[in-house]
C-alpha cells in the first residue's frame, strides 16, 4: 500500500514514510492510494476475535511495509491490560434495544485519543527505523484538550523522540490543563498559546510549512512529525474500533449478519468520524454517519449546504474538544469524494486560507448528503441531555457524548429512522465533571468547589471509581508554565530544541 498527498504535488510514499512525515511536504494530507475491502465472510470471521486481533487484521491491510509480527508487537504494547482498564479495550454498553454506547475512554488519559496515541509512538519509531531516519523525531501537537495529554502519555520517554504540545491558554478544562502541565518524562514539553485551538493548530501547520526552519532543525538532527489526526498513523488505528463495535454487537446477537447500523460521532477536527467513513467504505454495514457538533457548528452547516465557512464567532463551550472552526481531516473526505482530484482540493483549501470559506460542487455534495447527517447541540441542550440520560438509563456521560446523544434524538425526530445506533463516547464523565455534576445535581452542587473536588462528588453520585489518570492531579508539581502568542510558537520550538 502506497500513500499520496491530497494536494497532488508530492510523490507517492510508503506507509512508514507517510507516518514519519505526518503532513505531506506540499501541505496536503496522506491518503491510501487504493481502497481496502472486507467481504462479509471475512468480517464475520473476526466476530470471535479480541480487540487486539481485530486491530491487527485492519492495520495489516494499510501498513504494507510493516510485517504482521511488527504490527502485532505494536498492538500488544498499546492495548495491554496495564494501559486500558476494560478487558474489552473499547466496550459497547447497551442503553436500550436500538441504542448503544461505544466507550472509547478506558485508556490512561480517559479520552478516545488513547485508542490511537498509545500505538502511534510504536508505529512511528518503527517507521523511522524502516526509512533509515537518523534524526530525532520531534512531535508537534496542537490540542483542544484531550489529544495533548494522550500524546504526552504515549510518547513520554520513547527513545529517539521529543514531543511539544501547544494548547489554548483559556480553551481547556482545569483537569485537562493539569493533566498536561504536570506531565513527567525526559522528552516532553507543554506550551500555552494565547488564543483558541484554531490559533494553536494554525501555528503548528505554519511551523511544518516553514522550509527554512525545518532545514535549521534538520541541520541539528531533528525532524518534525505530527501526532494530530493529520498523521495517517494516528487516524488508521481509529478504524479498528468501529469494526470492533459492530463485531461485538454481532457476537452478542444484537444485530444480524449484514444488518446496517448508524454511528453517531461527536465531531470537531473530523478525524474520528472520518475513521468511521473509512470503515464504511471497507465494507462495514453502516447506514448513516451522524456528525454531532456543538455550537461551533461549521460542520453541520457544511453537511447541510456544501458551503464551508469558518468566518464566524468562535464560541467556548462545555464540550471544548469540539471547539474548532477548521476541521483539518475534512480535506481527506473531499479528496475521496472528488474522485481523487488534487486540483479541486488545492482550489478549495486555497479559498479557505484566503477568504475563510469554500463551496464544493454537486459531485461532492450529493454523496455527503447520502452518507452523512448532521446537527448541533447547545450547552443547555447538552446539560439537559446528561440529566435525562442519567434519569432514564442510570448512565453517566460526558459533555461530548451528550452532544452526540442530543443530535441522535433530533435525527430520530426528523427522519423516523429506527436503525440500531452506536454513539461514540469520546471521554470519561470525570474529565468534564463540573458540567456533569451541574447537569445531574444542579447549580448549587458545584458552587464553591473546584474541578478536583467535584471528582469526588461525581464518584459518589455515579458509584463509579475516579480513573487512575485523574487522581491527585493537584498534588503533582507544575512543570510547564510557558505562555506564547501564535506568532511566537516557532521561536518556542527553537528555544526548546536548539537552546535548551
Please identify which residue in the block is written with the cell numbers 452532544: 403
* Residue 282 near residue 239 (C-beta atoms within 8 A): yes
- Secondary structure tally for the chain: helices H, strands E: 21, 16
Compute φ and ψ for 374, nearest 5 degrees. -150, 150
Distance, CA of 128 to CA of 64 (rounded, Å):
15
Q: Which residues contact 103 (CB under 8 A, 6 or more apart)?
A: 86, 90, 91, 92, 93, 425
| Per-residue DSSP letter, 111 | B
Question: Would you state the cell numbers that stand for residue 377, as one nine-digit string?
Answer: 447541540
464-469: long-range contacts, CB 8 A cutoff, minimum separation 24: 464/396, 464/429, 464/430, 466/430, 467/85, 467/110, 467/428, 467/430, 468/85, 468/108, 469/108, 469/109, 469/110, 469/153, 469/179
Q: Which residues contact 350 (CB under 8 A, 6 or more apart)?
A: none
Q: Which residues contact 10 (CB under 8 A, 6 or more apart)?
A: 4, 24, 25, 26, 28
* Residue 231 near residue 49 (C-beta atoms within 8 A): no
b/e code 426-445 from CB counts within 10 Å (16+ = b): bbbbbbbbbbbbbbbbeeeb
**CA-based end-to-end distance of the chain:** 40
Burial of 252 by CB count in 10 Å (0-12 exposed, 13-18 middle, 19+ buried)?
exposed
Helices (H), 374-448: 379-393, 399-415, 433-441
Q: Where are the beta strands (DSSP E) in 152-285?
A: 161-168, 188-193, 222-226, 261-266
Q: Which residues contact 73 (CB under 8 A, 6 or more apart)?
A: 122
Burial of 461 by CB count in 10 Å (0-12 exposed, 13-18 middle, 19+ buried)?
middle
Pick the catalytic residue from 76, 83, 94, 113.
113
Name the β-bridge partners of 225. 139
Q: Which residues contact 74 (CB under 8 A, 6 or more apart)?
A: 59, 66, 119, 122, 123, 126
Among residues 281, 319, 316, which one has the least CA distance to residue 146?
319
* 211 given a catalytic annotation: no
Q: Which residues contact 372 (CB under 8 A, 6 or more apart)?
A: 273, 288, 289, 290, 291, 303
Question: Would you state the cell numbers that stand for residue 146, as one nine-digit string?
Answer: 484531550
What are the catalytic residues? 113
Amino acid at each position: 500500500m502506497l500513500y499520496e498527498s491530497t494536494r497532488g504535488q508530492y510523490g507517492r510514499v510508503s506507509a512508514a514514510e507517510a507516518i514519519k512525515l505526518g503532513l505531506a511536504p506540499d501541505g496536503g494530507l496522506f491518503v491510501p492510494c487504493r481502497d481496502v475491502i472486507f467481504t462479509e465472510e471475512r468480517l464475520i470471521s473476526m466476530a470471535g476475535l479480541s480487540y487486539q486481533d481485530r486491530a491487527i487484521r485492519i492495520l495489516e491491510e494499510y501498513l504494507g511495509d510493516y510485517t504482521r509480527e511488527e504490527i502485532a508487537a505494536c498492538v500488544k504494547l498499546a492495548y495491554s491490560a496495564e494501559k486500558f482498564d476494560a478487558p474489552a479495550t473499547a466496550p459497547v454498553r447497551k442503553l436500550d434495544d436500538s441504542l448503544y454506547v461505544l466507550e472509547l475512554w478506558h485508556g490512561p488519559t480517559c479520552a478516545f485519543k488513547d485508542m490511537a496515541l498509545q500505538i502511534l509512538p510504536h508505529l512511528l519509531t518503527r517507521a523511522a527505523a524502516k526509512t533509515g531516519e537518523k534524526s530525532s523525531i520531534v512531535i508537534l501537537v496542537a490540542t483542544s484538550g484531550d489529544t495533548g495529554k494522550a500524546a504526552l502519555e504515549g510518547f513520554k520517554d520513547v527513545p529517539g523522540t521529543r514531543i511539544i504540545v501547544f494548547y489554548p491558554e483559556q480553551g481547556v478544562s482545569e483537569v485537562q490543563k493539569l493533566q498536561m502541565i504536570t506531565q513527567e518524562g525526559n522528552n516532553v514539553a507543554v506550551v500555552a498559546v494565547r488564543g483558541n485551538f484554531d490559533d494553536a493548530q494554525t501555528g503548528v501547520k505554519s511551523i511544518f510549512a516553514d522550509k527554512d526552519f525545518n532545514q535549521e532543525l534538520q541541520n541539528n538532527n531533528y525532524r518534525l512529525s505530527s501526532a494530530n489526526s493529520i498523521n495517517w498513523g494516528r487516524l488508521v488505528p481509529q478504524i479498528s474500533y468501529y469494526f470492533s463495535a459492530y463485531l461485538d454487537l454481532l457476537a452478542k446477537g444484537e444485530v444480524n449478519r449484514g444488518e446496517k447500523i448508524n454511528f453517531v460521532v461527536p465531531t470537531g477536527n473530523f478525524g474520528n468520524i472520518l475513521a468511521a467513513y473509512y470503515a464504511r467504505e471497507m465494507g462495514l454495514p453502516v447506514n448513516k454517519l451522524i456528525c454531532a457538533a456543538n455550537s461551533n457548528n461549521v460542520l453541520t452547516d457544511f453537511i447541510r449546504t456544501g458551503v464551508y465557512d469558518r468566518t464566524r464567532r468562535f464560541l467556548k463551550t462545555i464540550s471544548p474538544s469540539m471547539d474548532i472552526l477548521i476541521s483539518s481531516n475534512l480535506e481527506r473526505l473531499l479528496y475521496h469524494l472528488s474522485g481523487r482530484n488534487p486540483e479541486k482540493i488545492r482550489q478549495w483549501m486555497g479559498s479557505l486560507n484566503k477568504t475563510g470559506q469554500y463551496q464544493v460542487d454537486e459531485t461532492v455534495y450529493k454523496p455527503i448528503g447520502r452518507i452523512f447527517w448532521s446537527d448541533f447541540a447547545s450547552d443547555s441542550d447538552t446539560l439537559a441531555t446528561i440529566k435525562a440520560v442519567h434519569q432514564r438509563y442510570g448512565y453517566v456521560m460526558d459533555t461530548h457524548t451528550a452532544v452526540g446523544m442530543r443530535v441522535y434524538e433530533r435525527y430520530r425526530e426528523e427522519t423516523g429512522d429506527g436503525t440500531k445506533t452506536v454513539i461514540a463516547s469520546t471521554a470519561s464523565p470525570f474529565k468534564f465533571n463540573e458540567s456533569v455534576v451541574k447537569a445531574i445535581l444542579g447549580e448549587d452542587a458545584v458552587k464553591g468547589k473546584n474541578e478536583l473536588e467535584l471528582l469526588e462528588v461525581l464518584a459518589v453520585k455515579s458509584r463509579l471509581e475516579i480513573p487512575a489518570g485523574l487522581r491527585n492531579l493537584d498534588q503533582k508539581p507544575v512543570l510547564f508554565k510557558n505562555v506564547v502568542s501564535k506568532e511566537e510558537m516557532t521561536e518556542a520550538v527553537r528555544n526548546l530544541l536548539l537552546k535548551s
